[in-house]
């Protein structure tokens, strides 16, 4: 830990001196107003750096830069964009430690997960780079009298608005396909975790990305974010964040008929039947809620267990939770680090009181750890019902709510009885049951007898209040591109 701390301090020293500035048209700049805000360390709540507080003027400048750069970037052959984006991927790999250490300090996420997240950022660039040459391809459709030729073109400059959980990986997941499609980008990262977005644009430009293709404006959602969603020259908004923010963005973008893509919240069930491989189910359910601090949209936050194995499964999950190492994010042994910010910590802690009031049992955890920083104990609520607040609201911390069910019908009813529909996890040895359940579960992504394993060509996204649209594979290009049909007589 001591050595990691020393290296991490080296990596963020320049931010302490210059602050986290905006990045517009290839220039690192302060906010037009000169205003700043602090980004805090969740470890000890001390300010890590001053961050440029962008507003309307900064967004307008960034959009103008993106609009100018679009003229050449959108016309560059896909094979050339591919070469450049591969160089960006290589540069991310070369800087993976710097990115991971910075992200740990800025977000509180444990190093063991952030090292992988930085490399996943490179994988996102590589994956979409390889798809760039064929991004414009369409198809020929003909009948007796007409030949129709379809093709795709980049939609224009786009806005990308991201949240504070795994911010580097998530930003690359949205930005890489936009750039591969030929769009230029204005990125507004979350105010709680701005540092690695600045690293990304710097690393990308050092690797050869032309100026103005990727622009960064920091600031609050209600000013910088809002202006981005309302700007007439921004053709689409890719947003990752809370469901209620998604509603606001949809309203803000209505006047300019903004195309939107939303990846929103979740309250994802992990459903365990008595014929399942219990060892694996316990491992996976614990991993999906207690890794990444539980600050994860696809976390398995509701554990639905068949009643005859409910006590056994809960006892085993509680044991796992009680033994999890909570500690400094840069300690290689740490699994759960501090939550992102005192405001978010207060929200998570408030559910412990709610659980008690609603009559659930706190089987383990349910308290703050230590008196410094935003550390919260991995928690399991048992004897819960699905109509309790702790089973309905997204807590977004290392907090799991376990609910018993009698049979398949009840499991399905409980699983679907929430506003959200992002992911579901199903554990059973019965293939027929798996087919029936997966057919009826209201979720955009369902994993059977598996934790969340990502496959970049597969679609990622949610139904109900969890989102609109899909990322991954060609789905990302459907969002960032317009399909045009040209018809000829035969
Ligand atoms: P948030 O909605 O509070 O903020 C996300 C971003 O939106 C921030 O950059 C913020 O500044 C901006 N914003 C806020 N108000 C805005 C406005 N009026 N106009 C434009 N921009 C605005 O979300 P958060 O708390 O940062 O992130 C946590 C949430 O993100 C959770 O709900 C989580 O489930 C969700 N999430 C979803 C996915 C997914 O893939 N479905 C992935 C990660 C996180």
Closest residue by Cα to residue 311 from 351, 269, 278, 268: 278
Q: What is the pLDDT of residue 273?
A: 98
Q: What is the pLDDT of residue 32?
A: 98
| Distance (Å) from CA 323 to ligand 1 centroid | 31
Q: In the chain, which stretches have pLDDT less than 50? A: none
Q: What is the pLDDT of residue 396?
A: 98
For residue 297, give the ligand 1 atom closest to its CA: 34
Asked whether 390 and 354 are in contact (CB, 8 A), the reply is: yes
For residue 340, give both structure tokens. Answer: 């992102």
Q: Give the CA radius of gyration of the chain.
A: 23
Q: What is the pLDDT of residue 23?
A: 98
Q: What is the pLDDT of residue 256?
A: 98
For residue 469, give both structure tokens. Answer: 């649209």
- Cβ–ligand 1 distance for 366 under 6 Å, the answer no
For residue 265, give the ligand 1 atom closest to its CA: 34
Residues 86-104: pLDDT tens digits?
999 999 999 999 999 999 9
- Alpha-carbon distance values, 432 to 101, 221, 362, 490 (Å): 46, 46, 35, 50
Q: What is the pLDDT of residue 246?
A: 98
- At residue 248's C-alpha, the angle toward residues 242 and 182, to 5°, is 80
> Is the full-model pTM beyond 0.90?
yes
This complex has an ipTM of 0.96
Asked whether 307 and 406 are in contact (CB, 8 A), the reply is: yes
Which of 55, 163, 190 to mutate for ligand 1's pocket (most ligand atoms within 8 Å of CB)? 163
For residue 462, give the ligand 1 atom closest to its CA: 41
Which of 222, 226, 238, 241 to mutate for ligand 1's pocket (most ligand atoms within 8 Å of CB)? 241
| Distance (Å) from CA 468 to ligand 1 centroid | 14
| In 95-242, alpha helices (H) | 96-107, 111-131, 167-181, 195-206, 226-230
Catalytic residues, by residue number, are: 263
Q: What is the pLDDT of residue 446?
A: 98
Q: What is the pLDDT of residue 293?
A: 98
- Cβ–ligand 1 distance for 164 under 6 Å, the answer yes
């Amino acid at each position: 830990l001591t050595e990691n701390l020393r290296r991490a301090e080296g990596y963020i020293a320049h931010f302490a001196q210059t602050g986290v500035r905006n990045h517009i048209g290839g220039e690192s700049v302060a906010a037009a107003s000169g205003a700043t805000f602090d980004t805090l360390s969740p470890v000890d709540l001390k300010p890590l750096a001053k961050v440029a507080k962008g507003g309307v003027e900064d967004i307008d400048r960034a959009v103008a830069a993106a609009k100018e750069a679009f003229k050449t970037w959108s016309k560059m052959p896909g094979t050339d964009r591919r070469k450049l984006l591969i160089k960006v991927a290589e540069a991310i790999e070369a800087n993976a430690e710097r990115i991971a250490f910075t992200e740990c300090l800025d977000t509180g996420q444990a190093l063991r997960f952030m090292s992988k997240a930085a490399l996943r950022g490179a994988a996102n660039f590589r994956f979409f780079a390889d798809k760039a040459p064929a991004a414009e391809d369409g198809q020929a459709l003909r009948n007796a009298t007409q030949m129709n030729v379809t093709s795709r073109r980049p939609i224009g400059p786009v806005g990308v608005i991201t949240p504070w959980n795994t911010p580097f990986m998530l930003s690359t997941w949205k930005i890489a396909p936009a750039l591969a499609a030929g769009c230029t980008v204005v990125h507004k990262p979350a105010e709680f975790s701005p540092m690695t977005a600045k690293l990304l644009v710097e690393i990308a430009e050092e690797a050869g990305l032309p100026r103005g293709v990727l622009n960064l404006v920091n600031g609050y959602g209600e000013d910088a974010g809002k202006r981005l969603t309302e700007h007439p020259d921004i053709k689409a908004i890719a947003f990752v964040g809370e469901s209620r923010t998604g509603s606001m963005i949809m309203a803000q973008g209505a006047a300019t008929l903004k195309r939107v893509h939303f990846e929103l919240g979740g309250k994802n069930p992990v459903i365990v039947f008595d014929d399942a491989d219990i060892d694996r189910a316990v491992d996976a359910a614990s991993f999906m809620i207690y890794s990444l601090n539980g600050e994860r949209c696809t976390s398995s936050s509701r554990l639905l267990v068949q009643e005859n194995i409910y006590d056994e499964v809960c006892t085993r999950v509680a044991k796992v939770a009680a033994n999890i190492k909570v500690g400094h994010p840069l300690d290689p042994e740490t699994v759960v680090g501090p939550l992102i910010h005192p405001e978010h910590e207060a929200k998570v802690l408030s559910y412990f009181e709610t659980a008690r009031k609603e009559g659930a049992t706190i089987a383990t955890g349910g308290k703050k750890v230590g008196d410094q920083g935003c550390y919260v104990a991995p928690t399991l609520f048992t004897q819960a019902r699905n109509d309790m607040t702790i089973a309905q609201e997204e807590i977004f911390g290392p907090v799991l709510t376990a609910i018993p069910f009698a049979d398949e019908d009840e499991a399905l009813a409980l699983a679907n009885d929430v506003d959200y529909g992002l992911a579901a996890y199903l554990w059973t040895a019965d293939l027929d049951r798996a087919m029936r359940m997966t057919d009826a579960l209201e979720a955009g992504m369902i994993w059977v007898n598996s934790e969340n394993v990502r496959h970049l060509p597969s679609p990622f996204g949610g139904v109900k209040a969890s989102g609109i649209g899909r990322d991954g594979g060609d789905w990302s290009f459907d969002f960032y591109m317009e399909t045009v049909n040209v018809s000829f007589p035969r």
